[in-house]
Amino acid sequence: MVNKTIATEFILLGFSGIRELQVFLFAVLLMTYMVTVTGNSIIIMIIWIDRRLQTPMYFFLSNLSFLEILFTSVISPKMLINLMVQSKSISYAGCISQCYLYFMLGTVEFMLLAVMSIDRYVAICYPLRYTTIMNSRVCIFMVWGCWVGAFFSVLTPVIELSRLSFCGSNVLDHFFCDIAPMIQVSCTNTFFLEMLTFISSSIVVISSLIVTAISYSYIVSTILRMPSATGRQKAFSTCVSHITVVTIVYGNTMFMYVRPDQSYSLNFDKVAAVLTTVVTPLLNPFIYSLRNEKVQEVLREAVLKIGQN
């Protein structure tokens, strides 16, 4: 007989293996979180204030920045608190909620990146019809589709996760409530949940990757047929930032979740999770602003106005 218990809370070990660096790690992660929120907020603000940036491309970028703020805010505040307190507990309901929000927002990001690749496809392959095809109604519909699709695609695996039983141990070897460490401490047969997670994550990642790959195959084909070298360079430069973000996001997620066994390499998962939840949201505003002349111009003008005032 196994003593099955209903968990009321979990203990997040986080980075307890490097206690002497806790304060330093807290300072670095706090600064990273503040820069991430500030950088993405600035991107959103200038896009919605300046008319030159009120186009479908920047509409999707502002939504991506908003998503990155939410994504890192689901993980970072609790992680920062646990670095500085002795009790590293999180309630059962809080753990399940954090897990759901983490995967839902991650799914939205994949769908949104696929939508942004479609936007670049229409802009480069059908420039004269771009504003007609990608009108405001279509853009809003596509963004809402990302959120609604993510909400339902993650719901079933997390409901199945909430049904797991735990036999004594409630210690999760992670800095947030991920599926893998919860599976590790569960005494329930988790084969169905592991397969469900693998299949659902594979469908989301691979389908969005296929959409992105098809879009860019047409984009590359169109760019190569352009007679002007300047035109080719300008067209390609509008895609570099998006390609960079796609490479980072897809690479991390495929390493962490698109595999049948969810119960091993937790130390490697922590590193990849830091990249996904902390580093990527930090890099996005810099990747897009440093590679985009319009954004740079608007930022310079905003800084000059602030300096004059």
Q: Tell me: the pLDDT tens digits for 174-225?
A: 889 988 888 888 888 888 998 998 899 889 988 999 999 999 999 999 999 8
Task: Please state the domain extents for the chain.
Answer: 9-308
Could you tell me what percent of the chain has a pLDDT over 70?
A: 89
Assigned CATH class of 9-308: mainly alpha
Higher pLDDT, 272 or 108: 108
Q: What pLDDT does 3 receive?
A: 46
Secondary structure of the chain as H, E, C letters = CCCCECCCEEEECCCHHHHHHHHHHHHHHHHHHHHHHHHHHHHHHHHHHCHHHCCHHHHHHHHHHHHHHHHHHHHHHHHHHHHHCCCCEEEHHHHHHHHHHHHHHHHHHHHHHHHHHHHHHHHHHCHHHHHHHCCHHHHHHHHHHHHHHHHHHHHHHHHHHHCCCECCCCEECCCCCCHHHHHHHECCCCHHHHHHHHHHHHHHHHHHHHHHHHHHHHHHHHHHCCCCHHHHHHHHHHHHHHHHHHHHHHHHHHHHCCCCCCCCCHHHHHHHHHHHHHHHHHHHHHHHHHCCHHHHHHHHHHHHHHHHC
Does the pTM surpass 0.75? The reply is yes
Q: Which residue has the higher pLDDT, 11 or 295?
A: 11
pLDDT interval class at 250 (50, 70, 90): confident
More confident residue, 302 or 185: 185
